Amino acid sequence: MPTEPNRKMPAAGLTIAVVGAGRIGSELIRNLGLMGIGRIDVFERAPRVADPLRGRYTVYDGDFWDTLTLAGLQAYDFAVCTVDSPMARQRMNQKCVVANANLVLAWAEGTLAIVGAYPFAALPDSACFECDPARAAIPMPIAALRLSVEETPAAAGPVTRIATASVAGALAAALIARIAAGAHGSVARRATLDATLGQGASLEIRRDPQCRRCGSLQRPVPIVQTRNRWEAPASVAHTCPEMLNQRLQLSDEIDGLPLESCYVRELTARFHGGPIPAKFALTEVGGRIVCLDFEEREAGSVPAVSRAAARHQPGN
């Protein structure tokens, strides 16, 4: 779903995947609805949390790692993760980097509302969430995003948390609106705003060439849909022994195997023609890293092509 730099996208035509329907997620969805966003899909692992949204939005129950595939991500203009977990943010970043999908992350730390925007679809060299911001961060004014909030007593813990979540959701919606309108251009940025003071800052983040997640990738990453079956017939192993020594970087950790680098022969020896518990793997082919996508598309899953993807097909 590549988008052109500085290309304006009307709100009514946007499609957005929101991961997490808690305090930040619900506030984000409310603001996106007021903006007139064309389609909002919600991914939430706790069915009760998402129940109030089912009458108006499409809700996918379960862990987004299972329900939001690489092909599904490519169907959206933005994917937004509001889950308050560093691991969830890393996993969302991991998938969006490979899928070349625009990513927005929103979370809270104390009274700080924090939002990161990473336009992978619009900028091949965009920084990712795991890039070290200290390496190449450029301070930017946040005046256009400054909010006026009433001071909340520091002792009012629950009230402060609710206010911070509301600010984070509103700030994420504001960044999406500005990016869609072309106001920010194709840059990665992280904005923070103190919910009690209404003051904040914004950093433009440059790509870190030493980043373990994206430093060695040439984007967009080619994605090859393949069956998740691991076997090497004797004839193939005899004629193409180098195939068994192909190195893979798996998306998921498997007990007893190195995450960063394992070999095809290790997988065939262990799984004997069966599937491995991983969503995808990165490997080098012809001097370039490609993605082997193991997520089989089943009936009822997130559609691989939606209005967002269709708009970017040749002739549209």
CATH homologous superfamily of 11-213: NAD(P)-binding Rossmann-like Domain (3.40.50.720)
Q: What residues pair up with 15 in beta bridges, in sequence order? A: 39
For residue 302, give the nearest of 74, 13, 47, 103 by alpha carbon.
74
Name all contacts of 170-173 with Cβ < 8 Å and 24+ positions apart: 170/27, 170/28, 170/31, 171/106, 171/113, 171/115, 171/145, 171/147, 172/24, 172/28, 172/31, 172/80, 172/82, 172/104, 172/106, 172/115, 173/28, 173/31, 173/32, 173/35
pLDDT of amino acid 312: 38
Is the Cβ–Cβ distance between 291 and 254 less than 8 Å? no
Task: Give residue for tokens 């004997």.
Answer: 272
pLDDT of amino acid 134: 65
Query: Cα dist. 250→88, 98, 224, 262, 267 in Å?
Result: 17, 12, 14, 8, 11
What is the CB-side half-sphere exposure of residue 227 using CA atoms within 13 A? 5
Put the strands of the sheet holding 15-19 in their side by side order.
Answer: 58-61, 39-44, 15-19, 78-81, 103-109, 112-118, 188-194, 200-205, 137-140
Query: Cα dist. 24→31, 86, 146, 310 in Å?
Result: 11, 15, 18, 30
pLDDT of amino acid 203: 85
Q: Where are the domains of the chain?
A: 11-213
25: tokens are 């997620």
pLDDT of amino acid 297: 60
| pTM of the predicted structure, to 2 decimals | 0.84
Q: What residues pair up with 201 in beta bridges, in sequence order? A: 192
pLDDT of amino acid 158: 55
Q: How far apart are CA 149 and CA 196, in angstroms?
A: 7
Q: How far apart are CA 129 and CA 203, in angstroms?
A: 13
Tens-digit pLDDT string for the chain (316 aa): 444 445 567 788 899 999 999 999 999 999 999 999 989 999 999 999 999 999 999 999 999 999 999 999 999 999 999 999 999 999 999 999 999 999 999 999 988 999 999 999 988 899 999 998 765 444 444 434 444 444 444 444 555 577 889 989 998 998 888 888 776 556 899 988 888 777 788 888 999 999 999 999 999 999 999 989 888 777 666 677 778 889 999 999 999 888 778 999 899 889 988 999 999 999 999 899 999 999 876 434 454 433 343 343 333 3
pLDDT of amino acid 141: 46
pLDDT of amino acid 314: 34
Is the Cβ–Cβ distance between 57 and 33 less than 8 Å? no
Q: How far apart are CA 290 and CA 281, in angstroms?
A: 8
